[in-house]
């Protein structure tokens, strides 16, 4: 049995997923990152010891089965970070004109895939006393024009996270809202605009690490609040 803490991070090639992977590797964790494109995954893995890649799309059942096998070979899972997300079309359409096929993709990536992965990996993460973290958004709780598809999907993920916590009271289950970040996905949401005023994903990592270190009650947590609590303690 492997005694080293192990994490699986979806969407691990860029943005918050990349930043968390590197931070956990620095802590001595074994980190598995997954994403659709091999080259950026390998670039992340080359930056730190302890990071391995598993290329694929989380909406694909075959890929999820490969991830389940990878975790089974490790013997434990201390963190499942469902970070992979789909924004939808850019520029972002109003709900009344949202293409059905695009909306289906958004829900498949942001809701169905995380739930399927949780189902596949619930046993090892429960056995390790681990945590499940589903990356949310303020668009899940606020109504922003153009954000209806993405926000509705994240709201569904939030609710599913809350139900999972009720059904598994001994498990740490979190919806984590990182806030605005300077990422490629956020740039796609604002095509042609300057988003350099948004914080880098690395600035959010301490909030997520605090969540993992302190293990509060399962629920929905905003990075800004976790960082404020940390600064005042």
Structure tokens at 34: 């997954």
Residue 221 among the catalytic residues: no
Q: Which residue has the tokens 């070979």?
A: 73
From CA 120, how far away is CA 207, in angstroms rounded?
Answer: 27
Q: Which of 98, 150, 174, 221 is catalytic?
A: 150
Residues 6 or more apart whose CB falls under 8 angstroms from that of 131 comprise 78, 79, 80, 125, 171, 172, 173, 174, 211, 212, 215
**118: which residues sit within 8 A by CB, 6+ positions away?**
80, 82, 132, 164
Q: Catalytic positions, please?
A: 150
């Amino acid at each position: 049995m492997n005694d080293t803490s192990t994490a699986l991070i979806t969407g691990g090639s860029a943005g918050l997923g990349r930043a968390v992977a590197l931070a956990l590797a620095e802590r001595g964790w074994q980190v598995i990152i997954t994403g659709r494109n091999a080259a950026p995954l390998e670039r992340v893995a080359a930056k730190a010891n302890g990071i391995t890649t598993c290329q694929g799309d989380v909406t694909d059942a075959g890929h999820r089965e490969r991830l389940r096998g990878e975790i089974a070979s490790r013997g434990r899972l201390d963190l499942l970070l469902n970070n992979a997300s789909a924004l939808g079309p850019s520029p972002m359409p109003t709900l009344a004109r949202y293409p059905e096929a695009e909306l289906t993709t958004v829900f498949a990536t942001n809701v169905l895939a995380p739930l399927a992965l949780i189902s596949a990996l619930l046993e090892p993460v429960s056995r390790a006393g681990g945590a499940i973290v589903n990356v949310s958004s303020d668009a899940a709780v606020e109504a922003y024009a153009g954000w209806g598809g993405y926000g509705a999907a994240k709201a569904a993920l939030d609710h599913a996270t809350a139900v999972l916590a009720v059904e598994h009271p001994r498990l740490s289950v979190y919806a984590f809202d990182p806030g605005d970040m300077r990422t490629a996905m956020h740039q796609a949401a604002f095509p042609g605009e300057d988003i350099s005023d948004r914080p880098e994903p690395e600035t959010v990592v301490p909030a997520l690490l605090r969540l993992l270190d302190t293990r509060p009650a399962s629920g929905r947590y905003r990075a800004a609040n976790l960082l404020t609590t940390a600064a005042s303690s």
